[in-house]
Amino acid sequence: MPPKGKAANKTKASETTKPTQTTTTTTAAASSSRTTPPTTTTKPPPPPTTTPTPETVLARSEARYAAARPHDALLRQKGGSLSAALSHPEQTAWLAARIASRIAARPALSSGSSTAAGAGAVGKVACGGGVKTLREVWKIVNEGGLGLRVARVRKSPPGGEVGVREFEAKWERKVVLGCLEVESRCFRTRWERERRGEVEELTGELVVVTEQEAFEETRRRKEMAALRKELYGGGVGKEGKLAMDPEWDDVEPVVLEEPEGALAAISYSADYAEAMAYLRAVMQAKEHSPRCLRLTEHIIGMNPAHYTVWLFRAANVFALKLPIPDEMAWLNGVALENLKNYQIWHHRHLLVENYHPLIAADPSAVAEFAAAERSFLQKILAEDTKNYHVWSYRSYLVGKFNLFNDGEELAAIEAMIDDDVRNNSAWSHRFFLGFSNPDYATPGSAATEADPGVPAVVIDREVEYARDKIRLAPQNQSGWNYLRGVLVKGGRKLATVEEFASGFVKGLGEGEEAEDVQSTHALDLLAEIYAEKGDREKAELSLTRLGQKWDRIRVGYWEWRRKCLEVPA
């Protein structure tokens, strides 16, 4: 049901445009007897004497029937044969009404002089008399105020139990809808004429559809859709958001039919199916326009995982030369709403690729952009600290704008590790910042191999950092992996941290009670250190204890490591 206010508005609007229609068709009875000669309908039916105003449509129909066929009620009431129930004049009137209604049922015969002969023939058939008799019939009918055509009361007319007021309100809405459709048709005609460049007949000026008109049309279509839905139920037409928007009138949506028996087919919502149909149309036409942008936004709102839509959006952004920061700002909102989405980050990547050449020469612009990006990344990482796509984008950004020496980037990562020392994503990013810095890193150096380009001071700093963090959480593998990675990068012997690692392992092999391992990763590293130093016995003991007690799920691996000791490296 539409809000009452709306319905009131509509009545007003329709009155101004089509006053005649609203006044003539006010009741159901009037419309159903519209084809009868006017003389009969203008005659008022006998005033209902005792019956109260009917409450339901069914009751009203019955009352009307009774009024138009007074003799039927008498017949029913008294029962028996016609002659017994009715007086002679009543019988005549009853008969006349029946004859007249049959003639009226063939409108071609009841009017028009050329068919008079035919009418006479029917009259003869009907009552055995001539034209004169027929005149008599009409006279009786007119004088008796008998209805020529009366809605037959079905036992249970659809909606028969509906109250009269409600029923009439429904009729009113149908009328309103009709008016709106006429207005909409007028609008479409004007719209079409504007497109063709036609001129107004009166003024000779070009036809111009104002924004206000288009706006009103959109509202009108929404009202029409709401009315249609209310009157005829949902899903009757294609009143989607876009079909309703006059802006899209020139686009023929490309509806895609799934083949017979298509697998994993999705029952799309009407909105989504419509939007995709319009998208196919504009993509096919290679259209780049503000409305295409809005369409992509509309679809992305429903399905952010649609890579085709994202790429089309990017094409539009670039073709329309939109300011990249504006698009970034819009994207921020979408990203925060769709944390797990993948496509958002590729879109951002494309925007940066496009934007970079514009600001690369201006250090302050770069700094400003980097700061804005960092602030956004911090916000989104606060929601999901290990989001893989966000971190991948972050490392791309650092590389693209050479933010390796940006103190704030490193500080931001440190803050994240302080927050959660087990955030391995943050550790990985830190490794990238430290060891892929083009100022010193050797291009093409693999992550797991030594790079003589990295200054010792960087290695020292990172080793110290890792040790500090490991002390906070000795069984945190992130710290140990980092420590080992740094040592390898720096080309240092693992044994340089032997003492440190030994601090987490007590009494190895000295019996169940004495042996205490605070960190299996320390013991793992120690095994490597012993092997590096050639102390095969201790290396073997470390690996054996790992498999036997401290990290049993990985016993197969520890055994393999033990076999590695047998093969000279």
Partner 1 sequence: MPTQQRRPPSSASSSSRATRSRDIEQVDEEIVFDRIHPSFMIPDLFTQPPPDETVEACLPFLTGEDGENECNEHGVPGIDRARHVRFLHQCLGKLPARFVAADASRPWFLYWCLSALTMLGEDVTSYRDSIIQTARSMQNDTGGFGGGGRQLSHIATTYAVVLSLALVGGEEAYEVVDRKAMWRWLGSLKQPDGGFQVFVGGEQDIRGAYCAAVIISLLRLPLDLAPESPAYTGDSSANLLTGVAQYVRRCQTFEGGISGQPNAEAHGAYAFCALACLALLDHPGRSIPSYLDVPRLIAWLSSRQYAPEGGFSGRTNKLVDGCYSHWVGGCFPLIEACLNSNPSRSSSGGAVAADDPTATATATTPTITKTSLPPADESLFSREGLIRYILCCCQDQTKRGGLRDKPGKMSDAYHSCYVLSGLSSAQHQWELDELEPDAQPDAAAAAAAEPNDAAASAGPNKQADLEAVWAVLPYLDGLQVFDNKDRVRPIHPVYAIPQPTVRAIQAYFAERPGF
CB of 551 to partner 1, least distance (A): 7
Candidate list 13, 63, 169, 564; residue touching partner 1; CB under 8 A: 564
CB of 148 to partner 1, least distance (A): 53
CB of 345 to partner 1, least distance (A): 8
Bridge partners for 199 per DSSP: 206
Interatomic CA distance for residues 391 and 199, integer angstroms: 59
Q: In one letter, which amino acid is 356? A: H
Site for partner 1 in 186-205 (CB under 8 A): none
Number of residues forming the site for partner 1 (CB under 8 A): 89
Interatomic CA distance for residues 470 and 518, integer angstroms: 11
Site for partner 1 in 295-354 (CB under 8 A): 302-308, 311, 314, 346, 349-350
CB of 311 to partner 1, least distance (A): 5
Binding segment for partner 1 among 29-37, 214-222, 443-451, 492-500 (CB under 8 A)?
443-451
Site for partner 1 in 458-517 (CB under 8 A): 475-478, 481-482, 485, 488-489, 512-513, 515-517
Helix (H) or strand (E) holding 12: helix 4-17
Nearer to partner 1, 137 or 276 (CB): 276
Residue indicated by tokens 């007249």: 100
CB of 258 to partner 1, least distance (A): 7
> What is the C-alpha end-to-end distance of the chain, expressed in Å?
82
Q: In one letter, which amino acid is 509? A: G
Residue indicated by tokens 């009269």: 164
For the window 370-389, what string marks contact with partner 1 as x by the rule CB under 8 A? --------------xxx-x-
Q: Does 149 bind partner 1 (CB under 8 A)?
A: no
Task: Report long-range pairs for 221-225 (Cβ below 8 Å, ≥24 apart).
Answer: 221/184, 221/245, 221/246, 223/2, 223/6, 223/10, 223/180, 224/177, 224/180, 224/181, 224/184
CB of 343 to partner 1, least distance (A): 9
Is the separation of the CB atoms in 289 and 316 below 8 Å?
yes
Q: Where are the alpha helices (H) located in 450-509, listed in sequence order?
A: 456-472, 477-489, 498-502
Q: Does 437 bind partner 1 (CB under 8 A)?
A: no
Nearer to partner 1, 78 or 286 (CB): 286
Q: Which two tokens stand for residue 504?
A: 């987490």
Q: Does 544 bind partner 1 (CB under 8 A)?
A: no
Q: Does 182 bind partner 1 (CB under 8 A)?
A: no
Bridge partners for 56 per DSSP: 163
Closest by CA position to 224, among listed 215, 211, 237: 237
Binding segment for partner 1 among 102-110, 146-154, 360-368, 426-434 (CB under 8 A)?
426-434
CB of 371 to partner 1, least distance (A): 21
Candidate list 432, 459, 508, 542; residue touching partner 1; CB under 8 A: 432
Interatomic CA distance for residues 65 and 418, integer angstroms: 88
What's the number of CA atoms in the CB half-sphere (13 Å) around residue 370? 24
Q: Does 441 bind partner 1 (CB under 8 A)?
A: no
Site for partner 1 in 225-284 (CB under 8 A): 254, 256, 258-269, 272, 280, 283
Q: Does 440 bind partner 1 (CB under 8 A)?
A: no
What's the number of CA atoms in the CB half-sphere (13 Å) around residue 239? 19
Nearer to partner 1, 121 or 266 (CB): 266
CB of 23 to partner 1, least distance (A): 45
Nearer to partner 1, 27 or 395 (CB): 395
